Amino acid sequence: MTTTRSSWGSRLGFILAAAGSAVGLGAIWKFPFVTAMNGGGAFILLFLLFSFTLGFAQLLVEFTLGRAAQRGPVGMFRRLAGGLWPLAGLMGIFAAFVLYSFYSVVGGWTLGYLALAFEGSVLATNTAVLTSTFTRYVEDPLWPIVSHAVFALATLAIVLGGVEKGIERASKLLMPCLFLLMLALIVRSLTLPGAAAGALAFFTPDFSAVTPAMVGDALGLAFFSLSLGTGGMIAYGSYVKQETPVLRSAAWVVGLSCMVAILAGLMIFPALVAFGLDPAAGPGLTFMTMPIVFASLPFGQVFAIAFFALLSVAALTSSVSMLELIATLFLDEFSLPRRPVVIALSLAVFLAGVPASLSLGPWSDISVFGKNIFDAMDYSVSNVMMPLSGILVALFAGWRVWPLMREHAGLSGWALSALKWNCRLVAPLAIAAILLKNL
């Protein structure tokens, strides 16, 4: 059975969809607090350096491989090399399935908190009250699963529309909304008394904080904030027409991803400093710290609604790419119709996410290698499968199919030589260092 392969309707649609994949919840909460813990501007400089060198190179590789094969990761490895290489693609897709399963639970939290923001019940100036609210929500046996289902359905609704009419159309709507929400919150944050000191602290480099661990954090964030390591960008690259260059598109995606991370810092950091709160609060920053800021502002409920709407949009643009990546296995390899594939996968992802949600409440006593189910899923994907997949993709491009890369990457001279040795040596060693650091 032969099917016509989908493709992006425009280069802008491709760039916005890929940038949306990269811009997830991590860019909103993780970058500001990691920057706060690692020397402010010094960390930002390293993050930008790694993003526009190693991260850009790996992104270009994934786009190029996908476009050349016109297939997702498994089909790409099979079509370009065969042998056991498709197993590397399968590992990436399995990683994406596990990742999406628990990511959808967290995406559901953002929707749940958006509803609570409309009620006004997340606005409090007492940290203990906010902590209790968050704990009660995630430990509840019902509501986190309901919000997880709603989030999975929202993702399904977009991916059902296909590449051009679903993902591309949604990206053209959601990404501008994300930027507008961020800019509105940044303007409010920067107009708070004392916000200038927070912005200055965010950007001022403290080079005494540069340690091997800090460099590793910047390197890891640069790689995986670009949605690398599962093959998602290979899948998105496979919808690029053969005659369309991807070099400038890769540069745009890196630039947009870095811009969102820095804008998130400007949105959060000055506000927290203005209210004397700790920007290094970690994941709790999103649900247990920022509401204190909103509760202390005029029209705080409006800003709380905007903030959690922003988080929901960021989560959704990433989850769409994960579902599409998983679907490519069945769309490409078995030529199955899109609708039953994405519906069945969404149901499977929902069911796989239920234990992750329950492990924070009724099933909290269940342990997998000393971790609850949610943390075990997160650890296996982030610290093992994604780095291994990234290493294999780099080695494959640099050694197994380098003539194809040389022809299609759009580079020449020293830049092409740099990409070659990045694939063959630098990227595998750098990602291996991330893997070993996180084990």
> What distance in Å separates the CA atoms of residue 29 and residue 31, rounded to the nearest whole number?
6
The answer to whether the CB of 249 falls within 8 A of the CB of 11 is: yes
- Give 151's pLDDT tier (boundaries 50, 70, 90): very high
Look at residue 2 and tell me whether its pLDDT is greater than 90.
Answer: no
Predicted TM-score (pTM) of this structure? 0.94
Look at residue 1 and tell me whether its pLDDT is greater than 50.
Answer: no
> What distance in Å separates the CA atoms of residue 135 and residue 118, rounded to the nearest whole number?
19
Contact partners, residue 392, CB within 8 Å, separation at least 6: 88, 91
Condensed to tens digits (0 to 9), the pLDDT of residues 96-128 reads: 999 999 999 999 999 999 999 999 888 888 888
pLDDT at 281: 66
> What distance in Å separates the CA atoms of residue 150 and residue 270, rounded to the nearest whole number?
33
pLDDT at 73: 97
Neighbours of 36 (CB within 10 A): 23
| Higher per-residue pLDDT: 49 or 242 | 49
Look at residue 137 and tell me whether its pLDDT is greater than 50.
Answer: yes
Candidate ranges 37-51, 298-312, 315-329; pick with highest mean pLDDT: 315-329
Coil, strand, or helix at residue 371?
strand
| Higher per-residue pLDDT: 56 or 131 | 56
What is each CA distance from 194 to 190, 199, 200, 221, 273, in whole angstroms? Answer: 9, 9, 10, 29, 7
What is each CA distance from 236 to 65, 92, 210, in whole angstroms? Answer: 10, 14, 35
In the chain, where are the structural domains located? 11-438
Tokens of 331: 């769309």
pLDDT at 373: 96
pLDDT at 280: 67
Look at residue 3 and tell me whether its pLDDT is greater than 60.
Answer: no
The region of weakest confidence among 100-104, 105-109, 259-263, 287-291 is: 287-291
pLDDT at 30: 82
> What distance in Å separates the CA atoms of residue 272 and residue 284, rounded to the nearest whole number?
13
Condensed to tens digits (0 to 9), the pLDDT of residues 8-18 reads: 999 999 999 99
Percent of the chain with pLDDT over 90: 71
- Give 282's pLDDT tier (boundaries 50, 70, 90): low
**Average pLDDT of the chain?**
92
The answer to whether the CB of 214 falls within 8 A of the CB of 43 is: yes
Condensed to tens digits (0 to 9), the pLDDT of residues 162-191 reads: 999 999 999 999 999 999 999 999 998 898
| Residue carrying the six token digits 């010094």 | 42
Condensed to tens digits (0 to 9), the pLDDT of residues 183-241 reads: 999 998 898 888 888 888 889 998 988 999 899 889 989 988 899 989 999 999 999 99
pLDDT at 4: 66
Q: What's the CATH number of domain 11-438, 3.40.630.10, 1.20.120.420, 3.40.50.2000, 1.10.4160.10?
A: 1.10.4160.10
Tokens of 140: 């509840």
Smallest CA-to-CA distance from 352 within 142, 93, 100 is with 100
pLDDT at 416: 96
> What distance in Å separates the CA atoms of residue 321 and residue 45, rounded to the nearest whole number?
28
Condensed to tens digits (0 to 9), the pLDDT of residues 364-418 reads: 999 998 999 999 999 999 999 999 999 999 999 999 999 999 999 999 999 999 9
Helices 86-119 and 300-333: crossing angle in degrees, nearest 10, is 160
The answer to whether the CB of 289 falls within 8 A of the CB of 33 is: no
| Residue carrying the six token digits 């499968």 | 385
pLDDT at 271: 86
pLDDT at 297: 85
**DSSP letter assigned to residue 4:** P
Q: What is the largest CA-CA distance in the chain?
A: 65
